C-alpha cells in the first residue's frame, strides 16, 4: 500500500512538473484539498548544498510568501533550492495567522512540527505534507520567512527585524548569520530598526524540528510590518537570503535580488509602494490585477528600481499619495531609471500622485508626458498664499470618455461618477521634445476649495495618454481603482500601456 502511494505521488509529481497554469511548478502539497499549495525544486548545474525555503506559514505575514515566490526564479549556480512560498495558502488568502477553521491547538502551522523528545510526527494534513517534503529534501539549511509587528529593539515583545537561529552556537550557522546581519543592516539608516540575532526557535516550529531531526542549519528571518511598505519587507527578505546563498556558494557574487519571473505570462506589472505612495492605492491595484489573466504583479520600491528591477516588468504603476514625495524617494537616479524604462518600451500608469509625477512642469517630475498641472500659488484674501493643487477632501465628480478613450478604455454608461482627491488639472505644456498627449476623458464637473479655482477643472482632461520613446504613458487624475465598478478602466489602461 505504501509502495502504491509512493508510485502515485511520483506520477503526480511527473504530471505537475513543468508548466501548470503558466506557473513553473515541481509539485503540489496536499493536492486536491483546501490546503493545496505548490512547491518548486530548482537544481543548480553543479552539486552543492540544499536549501529548503518556506514562506507564508503564518497567513498574515505576506512578505515571506512574496519573497520566496520571487527567490524561486533566481539562477542558482550549484546545489538545490526547494521553495514552498505559500505554506498556509488559505491563511494567506484570508490574511489570518492561523490555519483557518482548525482547533486552536493545531491552528498555528509553525507549531505543527515534531516536538523536542516527542515522536517524529507532525500534526494536521498540511503540517505532515510540509514535514514529508522537508525530510525528502534532506536540507543543509532550512530558512523560514516571517514577519513581526514591531522592531524588536523598540518593542522587545515582538520578534520583528531579527534572525532567529535554532542552533545559534552551530559553527556553520554563526558566521553566515553575522554576514546576513551586516549586509541587511547596511541598508537601514535608523539603527533602532537594525536586525538583531536571537537564539532558539519555538518547540514545534519547522526550523527547530529541522535542526533537531534533519541536522539542518535553521533560521527564521523576521521583517517588521509596522510602517514599512510591503516592497521593503520583501526586499529585506531577499537581501538576507541572497547573502546566505552567496555565502554557501549557491548564488554568484553579483546576483541581483530580483530577477525575471520564469513563468509564462502575458503581462508583468510593478506596483510602486515606496515613499509617497498611499496604502490603499497599491491594494486596490492588486484587485484590478486579479482581472487580468496570465499576469503577475509585484510591489517595488526605490531600492528595487535602483537595482534595475524595472527590467523584469512590462508596466510600472505609480498610485495615489504625493507625487513630490514619490519623486524624492526615487531620487534623481531612480527617476532616471523610470524614464529609461519607458523610453525603452515600458508602460507607465500614473494615478493622481502618479500623474503629477509624470508631468512636465516640476523640477522633480519625470517629464514623460507633455502636460502641466495647475499648481501655481495664488494670494487668497484673508487666507494668504495658497497652492492651487489643493481642492479639499475626497469627493465625487462626473467624467466622460472621448472616442480615443473608448478605444483604449472601453465603453460604459456615460457620463459617470468617479472619486476625485486633488488629482492634477492638466493642460498642454508644449515642450517640443515631447509628443503631444491625447485626451481619453474629460472632467464634466468640478470641485474647488478656493474661489480662484472655480471654473478651472470642469471640461479639462481627466485621463490622458502619450508616448515617451518607445513606451506608453497613461495618466489618470481621479481614482477609478478605488471603485469596483470602474476598475475595468484601470485594467484596460494597464493592458494598453503594456502593449496587450
Least Å from the CB of residue 24 to Zn ion: 26
Q: Helix H segments across 320-418? A: 323-343, 353-358, 403-409
Length reported for the chain: 500
DSSP state letters, 120-139: S---SHHHHHHHHHHHHH--
CB closer to Zn ion, 113 vs 468: 113
CB closer to Zn ion, 61 vs 129: 61
Return the range that interacts with Zn ion (CB under 5 A); candidates 117-125, 143-151, 311-319, 382-390: 143-151
The Cα–Cα gap between 356 and 352 comes to 7
Q: Where are the beta strands (DSSP E) in 102-169?
A: 141-148, 162-165
HSE of 448 in the Cβ direction (CA atoms, 13 Å)?
15
Q: Is 285 helix (H, G, I), strand (E, B) or coil?
A: helix
In the DSSP assignment, the letter for residue 374 is -
CB closer to Zn ion, 146 vs 339: 146
Return the range that interacts with Zn ion (CB under 5 A); candidates 20-28, 51-59, 66-74, 377-385: 51-59
- Interface size with Zn ion, residues (CB under 5 A): 3
How remote is the C-alpha of 337 from its chain's centroid?
19
Least Å from the CB of residue 235 to Zn ion: 18
Q: Which of 146, 235, 299, 367 binds Zn ion (CB under 5 A)?
A: 146
* Residue 419 contacts Zn ion per CB under 5 A: no
Cβ-based neighbour number of residue 433 at 10 Å: 7
Return the range that interacts with Zn ion (CB under 5 A); candidates 66-74, 139-147, 275-283, 403-411: 139-147
* Residue 208 contacts Zn ion per CB under 5 A: no
CB closer to Zn ion, 61 vs 314: 61
CB closer to Zn ion, 98 vs 146: 146
Least Å from the CB of residue 54 to Zn ion: 11
Least Å from the CB of residue 68 to Zn ion: 13
Least Å from the CB of residue 60 to Zn ion: 8
- Sheet with 27-29: strands ordered across: 27-29, 37-43, 80-84, 50-55, 141-148, 217-224, 162-165, 196-199
* Residue 58 contacts Zn ion per CB under 5 A: yes
CB closer to Zn ion, 146 vs 492: 146
Residues 212-271 that bind Zn ion (CB under 5 A): none
Least Å from the CB of residue 162 to Zn ion: 11
SS3 percent helix, strand, coil of the chain, rounded to 5, is: 35, 25, 40
CB 466 within 8 A of CB 429: no
CB closer to Zn ion, 61 vs 273: 61
CB closer to Zn ion, 233 vs 367: 233
Return the range that interacts with Zn ion (CB under 5 A); candidates 38-46, 56-64, 133-141, 177-185: 56-64
Q: Where are the beta strands (DSSP E) in 213-340?
A: 217-224, 267-272, 295-300, 315-318
The Cα–Cα gap between 235 and 241 comes to 10
Least Å from the CB of residue 31 to Zn ion: 25
Q: Which residues are 84's β-sheet partners?
A: 54
Least Å from the CB of residue 226 to Zn ion: 14
Query: Would you tell me which residues interact with Zn ion (CB under 5 A)?
Result: 58, 61, 146
Amino acid at each position: 500500500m505504501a509502495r502504491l502511494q509512493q508510485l502515485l505521488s511520483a506520477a503526480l509529481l511527473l504530471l505537475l512538473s513543468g508548466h501548470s497554469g503558466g506557473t513553473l511548478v515541481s509539485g503540489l502539497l496536499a493536492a486536491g484539498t483546501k490546503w493545496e499549495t505548490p512547491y518548486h525544486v530548482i537544481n543548480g548545474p553543479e552539486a552543492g548544498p540544499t536549501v529548503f525555503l518556506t514562506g507564508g506559514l503564518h497567513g498574515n505575514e505576506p512578505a515571506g510568501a512574496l519573497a520566496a515566490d520571487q527567490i524561486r526564479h533566481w539562477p542558482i549556480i550549484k546545489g538545490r533550492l526547494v521553495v514552498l512560498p505559500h505554506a498556509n495558502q488559505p491563511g494567506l488568502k484570508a490574511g489570518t495567522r492561523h490555519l483557518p477553521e482548525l482547533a486552536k491547538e493545531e491552528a498555528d502551522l509553525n507549531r505543527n512540527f515534531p516536538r523536542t523528545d516527542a515522536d517524529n510526527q507532525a500534526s494536521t494534513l498540511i503540517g505532515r505534507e510540509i514535514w514529508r517534503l522537508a525530510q525528502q529534501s534532506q536540507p543543509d539549511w532550512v530558512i523560514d520567512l516571517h514577519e513581526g509587528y514591531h522592531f524588536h529593539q523598540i518593542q522587545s515583545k515582538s520578534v520583528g527585524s531579527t534572525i532567529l537561529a535554532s542552533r545559534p552556537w552551530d559553527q556553520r550557522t554563526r558566521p553566515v548569520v553575522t554576514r546576513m546581519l551586516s549586509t541587511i543592516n547596511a541598508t537601514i539608516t535608523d539603527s533602532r530598526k537594525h536586525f538583531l540575532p536571537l537564539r532558539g526557535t519555538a518547540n514545534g516550529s519547522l526550523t527547530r524540528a529541522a535542526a533537531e531531526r534533519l541536522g539542518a542549519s535553521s533560521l527564521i528571518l523576521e521583517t517588521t510590518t509596522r510602517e514599512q511598505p510591503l516592497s521593503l519587507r520583501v526586499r529585506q527578505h531577499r537581501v538576507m537570503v541572497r547573502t546566505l546563498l552567496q555565502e554557501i556558494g549557491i548564488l554568484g557574487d553579483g546576483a541581483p535580488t530580483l530577477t525575471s519571473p520564469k513563468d509564462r505570462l502575458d503581462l508583468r506589472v510593478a506596483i510602486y509602494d515606496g515613499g509617497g505612495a498611499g496604502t490603499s492605492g497599491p491594494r486596490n491595484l492588486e484587485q484590478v490585477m486579479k482581472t487580468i489573466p496570465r499576469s503577475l504583479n509585484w510591489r517595488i520600491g526605490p531600492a528595487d528600481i535602483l537595482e534595475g528591477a524595472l527590467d523584469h516588468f512590462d508596466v510600472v504603476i505609480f498610485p495615489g499619495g504625493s507625487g513630490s514625495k514619490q519623486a524624492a524617494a526615487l531620487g534623481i537616479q531612480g527617476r532616471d531609471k523610470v524614464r529609461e524604462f519607458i523610453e525603452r518600451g515600458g508602460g507607465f500608469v500614473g494615478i493622481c500622485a502618479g500623474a503629477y509625477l509624470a508631468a512636465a512642469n516640476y523640477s522633480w517630475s519625470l517629464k514623460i508626458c507633455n502636460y502641466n498641472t495647475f499648481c501655481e500659488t495664488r494670494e487668497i484674501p484673508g487666507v494668504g498664499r495658497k497652492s492651487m493643487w489643493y481642492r479639499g477632501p475626497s469627493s465625487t465628480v462626473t467624467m466622460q470618455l472621448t472616442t480615443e478613450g473608448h478605444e483604449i478604455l472601453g465603453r460604459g454608461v456615460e457620463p459617470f461618477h468617479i472619486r476625485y482627491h486633488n488629482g492634477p488639472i492638466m493642460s498642454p505644456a508644449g515642450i517640443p521634445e515631447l509628443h503631444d498627449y491625447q485626451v481619453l476623458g474629460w472632467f464634466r464637473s468640478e470641485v474647488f476649495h478656493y474661489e480662484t479655482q472655480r471654473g478651472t477643472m470642469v471640461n479639462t482632461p481627466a485621463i490622458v495618454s502619450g508616448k515617451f520613446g518607445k513606451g506608453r504613458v497613461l495618466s489618470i487624475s481621479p481614482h477609478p481603482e478605488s471603485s469596483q465598478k470602474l476598475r475595468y478602466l484601470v485594467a484596460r489602461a494597464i493592458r494598453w500601456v503594456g502593449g496587450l
